Amino acid sequence: MLNGILVIDKAKGMTSADVVYHLRKTLHIKKIGHAGTLDPDVTGVLPIAIGQATKLIELMHTQNKKYEGTGILGYATDSYDISGKTLVTKRVAEPIAASAIEQGMQSFIGRIEQVPPIYSAVRVNGKHLYEYARAGIEVERPKRQVDVLAYDLTGQPTFDLEKGQEEFSFAIECSKGTYVRSLVNDLGQKLGVPAVMSKLRRTASSGFDLNQAVSLDEIIADPAKAEQLIQPIDAFFKDYPQVDLTTSQWLKVKNGAAIALETDANKVALRYNNKVKAIYQKDAEKYRPDLMLLQNE
């Protein structure tokens, strides 16, 4: 039985649910889920939790994510990416300086309030925003607080006088729930020109990056690769303080009992037989169960 995280480099045109469906079919395992939906047009890191690792999905969602992409200054769409319907066009008459773009990007660093795109999976009154958009129904989009840790220009922008557009590339690190499309759209507003996201690739998520990723096609062609490439559950907790349990402590932990530990950490990964078996959290003088992973073999 596989237990761990398979890092898939999702191809363009597939939904995250498609990836899960094909892996269930290929690996003959029902207990599979993804952490962090990617739009069909977006490629890159999609962590897939398998077996006991499905218990980590909520925790995986909380981790920051990294992206690389490109944007175009000169027009905007209803979806904030090039698959949408063009709403406004404004020719860029002369090159916008890289320094001006960088200055605009830096204004988004920190905790910001963001409005999600109308074509997004955010729910309002039980329905996705994209459902309202497709039905032509106007609805107030809920603002949300997100954290942008980095928003950098990568390379020199490319100005196209004939098209009246300027293309730029970027790298972003952000918290869960951040819409990169909105960051590109909002950058355009900051610069006084419409903007649209033209390409996006997620380079890191849930503590994993493209170096650990494999394509879905490779796994389908050779299912045995999943066992070779799966990241152990323990890899997700590599930054947690680790405590190796004695046999007597392990007997208590197996039954979900509180234990005393010689550490001041708030949360600790408890190991037995060289595997993380539980995450315990400090509660007064003792540590109590936060997440149990007893079947992590």
* Phi/psi at 222 (5° precision): -145, 85
Instruction: Let me know if 39 is a catalytic residue.
Output: yes
CA distances from 210 to 23, 201, 220 (A): 19, 10, 19
CA angle 151, 34, 174 (to 5 degrees): 15
DSSP state of 228: H
Residue ranges in the chain assigned as alpha helix (H): 16-27, 57-61, 98-106, 129-135, 180-191, 216-221, 224-229, 233-236, 247-254
- Distance, CA of 40 to chain centre: 14
- Of residues 9, 18, 39, 290, which has the active-site annotation? 39
Q: Tokens 């090039």 correspond to what residue? A: 82
Q: Which active-site residues does the annotation give?
A: 39
